[in-house]
Structure 1
Amino acid sequence: MCLLLGAAGVGKTLLVKRLQNLSAHDGKGDLGDPPPTRPTVGTNLTNIVVQKKITIRELGGCMSPIWPSYYGNCHALLFVLDASDPTQLSVSCSQLLGLLSAEQLAEASVLILFNKIDLPCYVSVEELKSLMRLPDIIACAKQNITTAEISARKGTGLAGVLRWLQGTHRASC
């Protein structure tokens, strides 16, 4: 099981819809216009096939107080941040620290996704990493952590997310 987490409004639903579409076309082709999305209230389960079926459980950002009840059987974690909204950075950083300190997630592989890099107001990922002190966080974490810049709206970087999911799925099965 892969969990898809992040604060409200960071683009989790669009990301999972785009990944599902991309996996259906073997990671190639035009994604077309972004599908409509609505804020997730509760949880969404989505299956993505990348050589094998991977189930992604997306949890709404407003559900963060009960995220821990979903940590069991989690082998991979996609954590999404909004690179265009530095005001949300402290909330996202706090959520990330909570996830990384959870004993049930100690063995999970983590991919931190800096989303919305297509927007003109996005903050550079290097600046965000510095503000979050991400190198220090990664150095102290038990998990294997990778980072990536993406645009769920444009599709930038999503093929790399599929490759990461494929690699972590193979390692965890």
Structure 2
Amino acid sequence: MRELGGCMGPIWPSYFKDCASVIFVVDSADTAQISSSCIQLLSVLSAEPLRAASVLILFNKSDVPCTMSITEMKSLFRMDDIVASAPQPMALLEVSARSGRGLQEVLSWLDSTTAK
């Protein structure tokens, strides 16, 4: 498992070779970075070594009062279009790292993708 922050985007492809799954975390409270996050997600999804990787997209900070709703986030990302055109199996969750909301679903997703 590797954690690669957004500022490390240019070196992400060097870690894709043996990757079986990807967890992509979006800060739902940082509206200034939404377009950048979407571009990074599209870059990850279009990487040839990740064509068969399972992808989990987490919309984090659901506990913050100023966060966008999952509906707004999906609309801004055009998630329906992305899911329809991406070759990877994809799941989306609204979570809160602070409160733990969604953690069980993330663990279940990990369990189901690593069991294959």
What TM-score does the superposition give when structure 2 sets the normalisation length? 0.97
Q: Percent identity?
A: 56
Cross-structure match for 1:71: 16
Cross-structure match for 1:38: none
Match for residue 49 of structure 2 among 104, 108, 124: 104
1:23-81 superposed Cα distances (whole Å, 9 cap, x missing partner): xxxxxxxxxxxxxxxxxxxxxxxxxxxxxxxxx21112211001000001100100000
Segments of 5+ residues of structure 2 without an aligned counterpart are: none
Cross-structure match for 1:170: 115
Give 2:10's aligned amino acid: P
Cross-structure match for 2:97: 152
Match for residue 83 of structure 1 among 3, 28, 31: 28
1:116 equivalent to 2:61? Answer yes
Q: Which portions of structure 1, spanning 4 or more consecutive aligned residues, are displaced by more than 2 angstroms? A: none
CA shift for structure 1 position 109: 0.2
1:57 equivalent to 2:6? Answer no
Tell me which protein shows more strand as a share of its residues: 1
What TM-score does the superposition give when structure 1 sets the normalisation length? 0.66
Instruction: Output the CA distance in 2 between the equivalents of 1:62 and 1:104.
Output: 21
Tell me which protein shows more helix as a share of its residues: 2
- Could you say which structure has the larger radius of gyration? 1
Segments of 5+ residues of structure 1 without an aligned counterpart are: 1-55
